[in-house]
Amino acid sequence: MIIVTGGAGFIGSNLVQGLNARGEEEIIVVDDLTDGTKFKNLVDARIADYLDKDVFLQMLLENVDFSEELRGVFHLGACSDTTEWNGKYMMENNFEYSKYLFHYCQEREVPFIYASSAAVYGNHTVFAESPANEEPLNVYGYSKLLFDQYLRRQEEFSAQVVGLRYFNVYGPREQHKGKMASVAYHLNQQCHDNGVVKLFEGCEGYGDGEQRRDFVYVDDVVAVNLFFMDNPQIRGIFNVGTGRSQPFNDVAKAVLAEYPEGRLQYVPFPEHLKGHYQSFTEADISALRRAGYDQPFLSVEEGVARYLKWLKKA
């Protein structure tokens, strides 16, 4: 049995697909379907059971055994809205919940692979997994950092614990995320509806559309998760990105390649995002490579082309 929290969400549902592709079907998906549109992410998935996240938490607190053969927990469930400033809600949902699940797994010697975030780095320009580089700009990033710090203080572990700091992930099954969906998703929607893709004008030393991010395709993220599942002896916190930043203009060009009549427009940089926006991210994936992960990552051009083909079929 494998548990995937956030399994109806973006990365979680793609991970379930990746597990299914391996023949894994004894999967418990944990999520919150208050937003019922997320059910679409599970329609073609093969799973053993679904549990609401509150029911699941109560079962953790009661020390319920889900299966004698629980082989691993992928913890992807969280509030990922970087514009959410309700710190009480964020800490309960992201930090406290994660602690309960971590201790549950340790008590049963079950591998625990969880989602951290590149948001822990804030405006730092060095993106290596070190406290010296960690200074989040929002309470979401802080909730992720706090859990990383909590684990760093643990003196010993009875089973694998891996934290994956995702950079800008994009790809299929993210439509439910609304404003938090990827740049590629929004630009495709804009061009499909209006024939125009919109990017921010320059700000904080960057030219129009030249803010740079490490955009990583979700299939590559799934592959990294499965690598750690296959190597339970590896522990630690690892960046998950391509290791190469690309400007937002590259994403726009990749989308416009599918819409010959489309055009690019720059809009003023929002005042409320100034000082709270990562204008540059680029994962240092040295630790991931040292851990033995040697697969290549898709470029923006490759990933966006693959993604748009999927969107046209969806």
Same fold yes or no, 2-170+216-243+282-298 and 175-212+245-281+301-313: no
**The predicted structure's pLDDT at residue 274:** 75
Three-state secondary structure call for residue 242: coil
Cβ–Cβ under 8 Å, residues 212 and 249: no
Q: Is the pLDDT of residue 276 over 80?
A: no
Third-level CATH fold of 2-170+216-243+282-298: Rossmann fold (3.40.50)
Residue 177 annotated to the active site? yes
**The predicted structure's pLDDT at residue 305:** 96
Tens of pLDDT, residues 41-89: 999 999 999 999 999 999 999 988 887 789 999 999 987 777 778 889 8
Of 104, 140, 142, 307, the active-site residue reads 140
pTM of the model: 0.94
Tens of pLDDT, residues 188-211: 999 999 999 999 998 888 999 999
Rounded CA-CA distance 285/231 in Å is 18
CATH class given for the domain over 175-212+245-281+301-313: alpha beta
Find the angle CA(47)-CA(51)-CA(56) to the nearest 5 degrees. Answer: 130
Rounded CA-CA distance 148/116 in Å is 7
| Domain spans in the chain, listed from the N-terminal domain onward | 2-170+216-243+282-298, 175-212+245-281+301-313
Of 53, 177, 198, 253, the active-site residue reads 177
Q: How far is CA 63 from the centre of its chain?
A: 28
Distances (CA, A) of 213 to 111, 155, 201, 261: 31, 35, 15, 26
Q: Is the pLDDT of residue 177 over 80?
A: yes
Tens of pLDDT, residues 213-233: 999 999 999 999 999 999 999
Nearest in space to 300 (alpha carbons), one of 165, 183, 174, 173: 183
Tens of pLDDT, residues 107-132: 999 999 999 999 999 888 899 999 99
